[in-house]
Structure 1
């Protein structure tokens, strides 16, 4: 997935490192042990409430390994002024259903939510 922001093209990859980055943001702490829950918690916010903050977290995590790197302020400004957030959420969900790493869990979650 690619986005052009302020004349720069940024690439987003929804792979293993994306999941690891999300697990740093969304996790469960059980007796001092952290369990990553990035995709599960973030996806619920992205699909259920269409939360723009969750969208920002997903995009930052997906760009973390790519070049050029997208800064949080640049992304926030883009989302606040130029982005069609609903379309971008839909595009992000589509990418998640196509990524080899996320498609199984995301497709199952979407099917469960539809029923």
Structure 2
């Protein structure tokens, strides 16, 4: 998926690296045998927020999927100024649903 942000085209890929980035930033944290751990599940936590059109979840999603050097501030500003936010949510959700890496998680969530 490509978006034009600040006049430049940026690529967003919803593959394994995207899932790893989500797990780091939105994963479920806990403790096991006295050690703090991240149990992953970032996409599982994120999808309901995307489905309810949470703009911060959308920003986190795009940042995790960014292939190029786009900053969180650039993404936030893009969303703040987006003329058709509903369409952007739909595009991102559809890209995630079509992703080979994310498809099994989304299917289990019935999103």
Do the structures match in fold with TM over 0.5? yes
Q: Which residue of 2 aligns with 1:35?
A: 39
Gaps of 5+ in 1: none
Cα drift, residue 83 of structure 1: 4.4
1:15 and 2:19 matched: no
Normalising to structure 1: TM-score of the pair? 0.85
Match of 1:54 among 34, 51, 57: 57
1:106 and 2:106 matched: yes
Q: Point out 4+ residue stretches in structure 1 off by more than 6 angstroms.
A: none
Q: Distance in 1 between matches of 2:105 and 2:28?
A: 18
Cα drift, residue 87 of structure 1: 0.9
Q: Over the residues paired in the alignment, what is the CA RMSD in angstroms?
A: 1.4
Q: Distance in 1 between matches of 2:106 and 2:2?
A: 20
Gaps of 5+ in 2: none
Map Cα deviations across residues 19-61 of structure 1 (whole Å, 9 max, x no partner). Answer: 00000111222222221121000111111x2101000000000
Normalising to structure 2: TM-score of the pair? 0.88
Q: Distance in 2 between matches of 1:39 and 1:83?
A: 26
Q: Give 1 or 2: higher helix fraction.
A: 1
Cα drift, residue 9 of structure 1: 0.3
Secondary structure of 1:3's aligned partner: strand
